[in-house]
Amino acid sequence: MSLPLPQPVFDATPTGGGFGDLPDWDLTDLYPSPDGPEFTRDMAELVRACAAFARAYEGQLARLDAPGLLACVEEYQRIDIIAGRLMSYAGLRYYQNTIDADRAKFMGDAQDRVTTATTPLVFFSLEFNRLDDDHLARLLAANADLARARREAAAHALAEVFAANVKLFARVHNTLAKEKEIHDRWRKMLSPQHGRHLSNHVEPEVVEALRNAVVAAYPKLSHRYYRLKAKWLGLDKLQVWDRNAPLPQENPRLVDWAEATATVTAAYGAFDPRMADLAKPFFEKGWIDAGVKPGKAPGAFAHPTVTTVHPYVMLNYLGKPRDVMTLAHELGHGVHQVLAAGQGELLSSTPLTLAETASVFGEMLTFRKLLDQAKTPAERKTLLAGKVEDMINTVVRQIAFYDFECKLHAARAEGELTPDDINALWMSVQAESLGDAFEFMDGYQTFWAYIPHFVHSPFYVYAYAFGDGLVNALYAAYQGGLPGFQDKYFAMLEAGGSKHHKDLLAPFGLDLSDPAFWDQGLSMIAGFIDELEAMEA
């Protein structure tokens, strides 16, 4: 069987036919001339570099740590560029005139010399392919530069997809915002946010006080923290893919299940023995599913089931310090659900704004215990930085999302929004909330498109910041030695959804409608950042 080969439709001629003045390659970007000093210099450098590379790395790849392997790969890449440049120049000159004997000889000689020079590198691919996959994975995970490259590639991949679909995303947001405006008008809602406030049993002025307090605190919270993070990562400016990057000093120690159980139980018990007693059945009676298993759903949650039975907690526990915090968080939900069950099926569940109270409080108790147990300043710094990052993601980022939603719906009321209109709103809010430590890659302007809450649960996101701010204020009252705090706290959890937030918080001397209320919780975050800055002094 023979395959037909393509044939030219006409013979090449020196003039190119009657097509006018056709261009020729200008190869001087590679080398000025075949006999110039630049080509000779690079050929000599190739010979030297290949020999040096083989002396340094042959038989050593398996012994290299992450920085060492990175340096090895970067040098190999540099050598590959030199060889590629030499052969590109020789080859392209030859392809311009394959019947020129001098060009053919130049290419053949160059090929021989490059082949001879690079022969010592044959070991590299063989040794690299023999590296154990687990060992290589550990090296990749350990090296921040390699991890950053992967994060950057992921960010650009997302941006590419968002840009290709941004007109559709804009149409979806325009349509849903208009539909909501019509429904709100029929129902005589005072604002696009009002329906969410009603379902959360919270007054609009309380949420606006939260929004205003957080926005005013951006400079002393996120702006300061991200400047610190840029310094830790050795960067002049952070990019969007660095926002949640692991910290260089992050503790890789794994915590087994027994230690996690003991840590959380002890933290709960130190607050009040009743809290530990309520948590105990979860560990002893099979109310927690913790292992990572094939086919298991991702994430973590506490399911209340029904008030006549008990809650169940699901985790995907991998032994990281944050997994311990997740256990404390979900167990807090479970304890809250057990205590509120006395209200019956119809009054036990709480609105979103109060649903995170016990979970975040339990998380804070556990964090404080871990902080007290830190054996070195570096370990304490890691814990503090991780907590601040979580709190900024919960408070600053969610309020920035809420602020974006408010502005988007207000702008939509004036007319249809183009993708560029929505992009501009997004970037103004992101720049304001993240601060001058960031520069934003081209394409980040469309990242509003991946937040599902904007589509499926309008104005939902402020509840995260609401819950965190509430718990921080409660914890400040606890730290301040408020008499009878534990009894008041248990009474609040036992009330479930049967009382308004004013009645629940009055025993603590807290009033959400007071604009100064939210500053208490924000001051706690600022205090953690103060300590981190002091460690840098």
316-336 tens-digit pLDDT: 998 888 899 999 999 999 999
Confidence of residue 146 (pLDDT cuts 50, 70, 90): low
Closest among 389, 324, 390, 396 to 362, alpha carbons compared: 324
48-76 tens-digit pLDDT: 999 999 999 999 999 998 888 988 999 99
pLDDT at 129 over 90: no
Structural domain contains residue 263: no
Mean pLDDT, range 251-265, rounded to an integer = 86
pLDDT at 169 over 80: yes
pLDDT at 455 over 90: yes
Q: Percent of the chain having pLDDT more than 90?
A: 70
Confidence of residue 239 (pLDDT cuts 50, 70, 90): very high
Furthest-apart CA pair in the chain: how many Å?
99
Least confident stretch, 2-16, 189-203, 516-530: 2-16
Confidence of residue 511 (pLDDT cuts 50, 70, 90): confident
pTM of the model: 0.71
Structural domain contains residue 32: yes
520/522 Cα distance (integer angstroms): 6
At residue 515, φ and ψ (nearest 5 deg) are -55, -30
What the block records as the tokens of 131 is 């590296």
* pLDDT of res. 9: 40
First-to-last C-alpha distance (Å) of the chain = 78
Confidence of residue 2 (pLDDT cuts 50, 70, 90): very low
Structural domain contains residue 106: yes
At residue 180, φ and ψ (nearest 5 deg) are -65, -40
pLDDT at 193 over 80: yes
* Residue 509 C-alpha from the chain's centroid: 37
* pLDDT of res. 112: 96
167/444 Cα distance (integer angstroms): 15
* Residue 83 C-alpha from the chain's centroid: 39
Q: Percent of the chain having pLDDT more than 70?
A: 94
* pLDDT of res. 5: 38
Structural domain contains residue 382: no
* pLDDT of res. 297: 85
Using DSSP's 3-state secondary structure scheme, residue 312 falls into strand
Q: Measured between alpha carbons, how far is residue 194 from residues 185, 200, 204, 269 in Å?
A: 11, 10, 7, 40
Cβ–Cβ contacts within 10 Å for residue 88, how many?
A: 13
Using DSSP's 3-state secondary structure scheme, residue 302 falls into strand
Structural domain contains residue 297: no
Structural domain contains residue 80: yes
pLDDT at 290 over 50: yes
Mean pLDDT, range 156-174, rounded to an integer = 97
Structural domain contains residue 33: yes
* pLDDT of res. 319: 87
Confidence of residue 142 (pLDDT cuts 50, 70, 90): low
392-429 tens-digit pLDDT: 999 999 999 999 999 999 999 999 999 999 999 999 99
Mean pLDDT, range 114-121, rounded to an integer = 95
Domain count, the chain: 1
Name the average pLDDT for the chain: 90
Structural domain contains residue 191: no
**Domain of 107?**
27-142
Mean pLDDT, range 32-39, rounded to an integer = 94
* pLDDT of res. 181: 96
